[in-house]
A and B are shown apart, each in its own frame.
Chain A
């Protein structure tokens, strides 16, 4: 079954035809060419596909695309403004919080979701917010340090 849906991705309106069984992740990657959300476990375990839906982190592999109709989606592609990286992106570079990079877009969106709701989280709150994002390279210390840095700067 086909559905014509309209939704916003990073502030831009898109109208696309999607099948009932298409996930938001399928449509972002395959139809819109927005490839920062990664296809990882497709089971809600790894968080590599995390995007913000109306400001809240969700696994885009576990949302039907048709459910996103009329909603606001944010991905890493929308983080930089006027050629200037987002403070979280800068902090991840400064802290070397990236190794292979596969998990990074999801981690950034979970961190943005947290900071938008709570601009000055402590270490425990950061760990809690990032618990749904697996990183098999960094050991998390640098990731938490990077988010803490932005939180301390008051963004």
Chain B
């Protein structure tokens, strides 16, 4: 592997000094499951790698009252640190309490060895359109807590993903945590994904669905990954489902999900196959949510 220098800063100040070193290619590292293969394949060539996972607060999962500075979350949010491992999220009783769709998505990443290293912040920072946790964060309407040399800011996850491997992070900024807004009792979610090899490989298509009790009915949220340059919400399908989730609406929503998808051909699957799978996985995710609502 091409040589680089590794640092593990103990404070944010030290981290930002390293991350903004002039004339150097500097990359943050948390779980290493993206960075090491990319450096080995010579697709990334960092001069300096900054291990951010031991920075204060990056490994915490904790309820917090309101969002620090973001003002969006009223009541109790769940704070999930950027360097929390996928296996920790999948098994966390706190995440599973209301935000189980994120636990399901984290549990679908790679296999156990990868989940024991890969982090939520890494999945977001890498911003692959196929990132499993990304569509779950969209339906949960998560806020992203970001810190840089200039201070802290909080942005909605809908504004975080700008394109394949492109995010709203400015040079030197790191993801500190996501904040998951509270959900009322009776909410139900499901994450469905398909990959060539079960228990490994990236998603060919991923679908997150969530129903939230609202005004005597449900407000539905639906998001897709691996079918567009970024993970996407499907508001047209959500409107149909929120008006009633009978069999006809479910089918209509699956077709609207298809209409919103613009998948590509790549080594994993053809666009045509992905389109077919969008319909099937959306049906399945919606059906799983309906089963939970009726339970």
- A positions within 8 Å CB-CB of B: 1, 3, 19-23, 42-45, 47, 50, 53, 56-59, 61-64, 66-67, 110, 113, 128-129, 131-132
In the complex, which residues of chain A have a beta carbon less than 8 angstroms from the beta carbon of B135?
A: none
Q: Chain A's nearest CB lies how many Å from the CB of B25? A: 14
Q: Is the CB of A132 within 8 A of B200?
A: yes
In the complex, which residues of chain A have a beta carbon less than 8 angstroms from the beta carbon of B117?
A: 58-59, 62-63
Q: Is the CB of A110 within 8 A of B39?
A: no
In the complex, which residues of chain A have a beta carbon less than 8 angstroms from the beta carbon of B3?
A: 1, 19-21
In the complex, which residues of chain B have a beta carbon less than 8 angstroms from the beta carbon of A19?
A: 3
Tell me what chain A mostly uses at the interface: helix, strand, loop, or mixed.
mixed
Partner of A42, one of B29, B32, B40, B112: B40
In the complex, which residues of chain A have a beta carbon less than 8 angstroms from the beta carbon of B170?
A: none
In the complex, which residues of chain A have a beta carbon less than 8 angstroms from the beta carbon of B12?
A: none
In the complex, which residues of chain B have a beta carbon less than 8 angstroms from the beta carbon of A110?
A: 112-113
> Bound complex: CA of A56 vs CA of B6, how far in Å?
24
In the complex, which residues of chain B have a beta carbon less than 8 angstroms from the beta carbon of A22?
A: 1
> Bound complex: CA of A66 vs CA of B1, how far in Å?
14
With A3-B6, A20-B3 known as contacts, the answer to whether A44 contacts B112 (CB < 8 A) is no
In the complex, which residues of chain B have a beta carbon less than 8 angstroms from the beta carbon of A57?
A: 112-113, 116
Q: Chain A's nearest CB lies how many Å from the CB of B110? A: 7
Partner of A132, one of B5, B29, B49, B114: B114
Q: Chain A's nearest CB lies how many Å from the CB of B112? A: 6
Q: Chain A's nearest CB lies how many Å from the CB of B27? A: 12
Chain A residue at smallest Cβ distance from B117: A58
Q: Chain B's nearest CB lies how many Å from the CB of A65? A: 10
Chain B residue at smallest Cβ distance from A41: B37
In the complex, which residues of chain A have a beta carbon less than 8 angstroms from the beta carbon of B6?
A: 1, 3, 20-21, 64, 66
Partner of B32, one of A1, A43, A45, A64: A64
Query: Could you tell me which residues of chain B, from 48 to 75, have a CB within 8 Å of some CB in chain A?
Result: 49, 51
Chain B residue at smallest Cβ distance from A109: B113
20 contacts between A and B (CB under 8 A): A1-B4, A21-B6, A44-B113, A44-B114, A47-B111, A56-B116, A57-B112, A59-B33, A62-B36, A62-B37, A63-B117, A64-B29, A66-B6, A66-B8, A67-B32, A128-B112, A128-B199, A129-B112, A131-B198, A132-B200
With A21-B4, A131-B199 known as contacts, the answer to whether A59 contacts B40 (CB < 8 A) is no
Partner of A58, one of B39, B49, B113: B113
> Bound complex: CA of A47 vs CA of B115, how far in Å?
13
> Bound complex: CA of A66 vs CA of B49, how far in Å?
12
Q: Chain A's nearest CB lies how many Å from the CB of B44? A: 12
With A21-B3, A110-B112, A132-B200 known as contacts, the answer to whether A56 contacts B32 (CB < 8 A) is no
> What would 4 more interface pairs be, CB under 8 Å, given A21-B2, A21-B39, A53-B116?
A42-B37, A43-B40, A64-B36, A66-B6
Interface centre among B29, B32, B112, B199 (most CB of A within 10 A): B112
Whether a CB of chain A sits under 8 angstroms from the CB of B104 is no
Q: Chain A's nearest CB lies how many Å from the CB of B32? A: 6
In the complex, which residues of chain B have a beta carbon less than 8 angstroms from the beta carbon of A128?
A: 112, 199
In the complex, which residues of chain B have a beta carbon less than 8 angstroms from the beta carbon of A42?
A: 37, 40
Q: Chain B's nearest CB lies how many Å from the CB of A38? A: 14
In the complex, which residues of chain B have a beta carbon less than 8 angstroms from the beta carbon of A61?
A: 36
Partner of A63, one of B32, B49, B110, B112: B32
In the complex, which residues of chain B have a beta carbon less than 8 angstroms from the beta carbon of A47?
A: 111, 113
Whether a CB of chain A sits under 8 angstroms from the CB of B123 is no
Closest 7 CB pairs of A and B: A131-B199, A132-B111, A20-B6, A1-B5, A56-B116, A21-B1, A132-B113
> Bound complex: CA of A53 vs CA of B39, how far in Å?
22
Q: Chain A's nearest CB lies how many Å from the CB of B11? A: 19
Q: Chain A's nearest CB lies how many Å from the CB of B36? A: 5
In the complex, which residues of chain B have a beta carbon less than 8 angstroms from the beta carbon of A44?
A: 33, 37, 110, 113-114
Q: Chain B's nearest CB lies how many Å from the CB of A48? A: 11
Q: Chain B's nearest CB lies how many Å from the CB of A45? A: 6
